[in-house]
Amino acid sequence: MANNEDANESTPLLDSNSGNRPLPPSVFQGRRLACAAILLAESLERVAFYGITSNLVLFLNSSPFYWEGTQASQAPLMFMGVTYLISPFGGWLADAYLGKFWTIASSLILYFIGMLFFPFISNEDTRIGLCGEEVAFPVQPAECLSTNSTPPSNVTCPIRVPYCGPVVYSGLFLIALGVGTVKSNITPFGADQVKDRGPEATRRFFNWFYWCINLGAILSLGGVAYIQQNFSFELGYIIPTVCLGVSFLVFLLGRTVFITKPADGSAFTDMFKILGFACCSQKPKEPNLLRNKPTLLDGAKVTYGGKFPEEKVDELKALVKILPVFLALIPYWTVYFQMQTTYILQSLHLKIPDTASNTTADSHQMTFRFPAAWLTMFDAVLILMLIPLKDKVVDPILKRRGLLPSSLKRIAVGMFFVMWSAVAAGILETKRLEIVKSNGTIDQVLGNVIYYAADLPIWWQVPQYVLIGISEIFASIAGLEFAYSAAPKSMQSAIMGLFFFFSGIGSFVGSGLLAIVSIKEIGWMSSHRDFGNINDCSLHYYFFLLAGIQGVTLLVFLIVSVKYDKQRGRAGSQRQRHTSS
């Protein structure tokens, strides 16, 4: 076993003589099988994840659920919010008790149980047993159906309780627990397989890890989403459930080639102890005159009269410096998650090619219907094409010339592109509403539901998806790389969990903003004429609001990132001077 490996690490025998052989020609030499197992398991897991999220709005809008547009959009936003908020718990569980491997394996089982809910909900017989009979629509007063004015204050517009809501949310919650715990551990677990090969191996692993995520997304969106919209949601949910089961088996069988580490204590536990001591414990009255006055956290160090080693306190200080970057990414995630919610809702009200009309088509005629969720593939396909180009051509050229930007600069570029994605969506929605008001709507049938769409081709959504795809290549990949590389070794799972935690906050912010703009006083997303309709809403204002928030955050982030890079550069030069001396 190589000398630089931890004593408690379990390493496959194929690397046992790595200290005696010459440098391998590839950074993945001897680790390809382990990396391949992780990447395959992740691709299949993504098929399952996007099998749930890509058409969830359409599923809840359609018969027999008929959730309102706002309710159907909030469900995936809340689901993704919980998914990411759970991530720190997953990191803590792995570090404190189970280790990354067994945490991932047990989470995939929980994930699988949650996935089983949806085939049962999609089947009429089992759904009635779980949810009861379908709830009738409430009778609306005439004032609620007016398109030209808001209802008087003394008129109450009844809202239909979401049918099967508790069961749907229970299934989503179990899936969220599994996904969140897997997310916080599988990324650092994969990076652990090549961590001794240097930062170049880590950077390339993250590139290909993200490539496989989007490969799974394309397989799910290309096949599963089409089946769900045009054939059967029941079959469309059985397929991703089976894929998740295969993912679990691949990961379990990969244990023989994985580098694994046992649980060696949670960074979160130490973090809260240090914070408690620094804030609440009494400090020595007479500090050492030879030392500078300690900061709040330095007061917890043994050398300043505290009871914690300097290394542990310095790790917490490193975390504190990283948090502003994570906070600045919240608006980015808020816009990003619109791709699977309000962007889908918008696409359902645009003209979709080869969609059967309710007045001319035979309901039994086999007609190809372009799935609305397929537009999400523009984002994924773009990533599949550009990541290999970036990894093999662009990055090596920039690195040789000393021009490879830092991860924070790449995040800022991603924020710029995601802001323009929201602007593009807002401009398109403005035009769509103008066409609806001037030319009326066309009827199109999707998932056995009639949508009243504008006579404007869905292809006009492509720019907003392309912009969000470009933003991912910069911001999301660089964010993963930053979270892993900036974290002290003992806190990598914890900080990766916090990275996803703040992603979840971004999703909840989007859901909260939707709820705020839906209240009667604002009325941007209030429509009682049709339970999936947005033609009487002002969704474009919501998109422009998101773009404005992201633009302000980008300016703040540029200031934060410049300061962080300078501090990191000074710390690096100080370490070099200390080493040379």
Whether the pLDDT of residue 294 is over 70: the answer is: no
Q: Copy the structure tokens of residue 296.
A: 């709040």
Tens of pLDDT, residues 220-255: 988 898 898 888 899 999 999 999 999 999 999 999
**What would the mean pLDDT of 279-284 be, rounded to a whole number?**
64
Q: Copy the structure tokens of residue 387.
A: 């990541």
pLDDT at site 359: 41
| Helix axes of 477-486 and 165-192: crossing angle, nearest 10 degrees | 60
With contact defined as beta carbons under 8 Å apart, do 193 and 37 qualify?
Answer: no
Tens of pLDDT, residues 12-54: 544 444 445 554 456 566 678 899 999 999 999 999 999 998 8
Q: Is the peptide bond before 152 cis (omega within 30 degrees of 0)?
A: no
Which residue, chain included where needed, has tokens 């969140």? 180
Q: How far is CA 278 from CA 265, 272, 294, 389, 535, in A?
A: 21, 10, 11, 48, 55
What DSSP element (H or E) covers 230?
helix 225-230
Q: Quote the DSSP letter at residue 446.
A: E
Whether the pLDDT of residue 148 is over 70: the answer is: no
With contact defined as beta carbons under 8 Å apart, do 160 and 137 qualify?
Answer: yes
Which comes out higher in pLDDT, residue 526 or 331?
Answer: 331
What are the phi and psi torsion angles at 457 (to 5°)?
-60, 145
Grade residue 433 by pLDDT with cuts at 50, 70 and 90: very high
Grade residue 445 by pLDDT with cuts at 50, 70 and 90: confident
Q: Is 447 left (phi over 0), alpha (psi -120 to 50) or beta?
A: left
With contact defined as beta carbons under 8 Å apart, do 250 and 37 qualify?
Answer: yes
- Nearest-angstrom CA–CA distance, 80 and 91: 17
- Nearest-angstrom CA–CA distance, 30 and 259: 12
- Nearest-angstrom CA–CA distance, 354 and 369: 5
Q: Copy the structure tokens of residue 115.
A: 């996935």
Whether the pLDDT of residue 3 is over 50: the answer is: no
Helix count and strand count (H, E) for the chain: 21, 2
With contact defined as beta carbons under 8 Å apart, do 70 and 532 qualify?
Answer: no
- Nearest-angstrom CA–CA distance, 446 and 63: 11
Strand partners, 308: 301
- Nearest-angstrom CA–CA distance, 430 and 233: 32
pLDDT at site 320: 79
Q: Copy the structure tokens of residue 98.
A: 């189970």
With contact defined as beta carbons under 8 Å apart, do 486 and 495 qualify?
Answer: yes
What are the phi and psi torsion angles at 442 (to 5°)?
-115, 150
| Strand locations in 393-517 (E) | 442-446, 449-453
Grade residue 528 by pLDDT with cuts at 50, 70 and 90: low
- Nearest-angstrom CA–CA distance, 346 and 352: 11
How does the average pLDDT of the chain come out, rounded? Answer: 80
Whether the pLDDT of residue 363 is over 80: the answer is: no
With contact defined as beta carbons under 8 Å apart, do 301 and 283 qualify?
Answer: no
- The number of beta carbons lying within 10 Å of the beta carbon of residue 213 is 22
pLDDT at site 563: 77
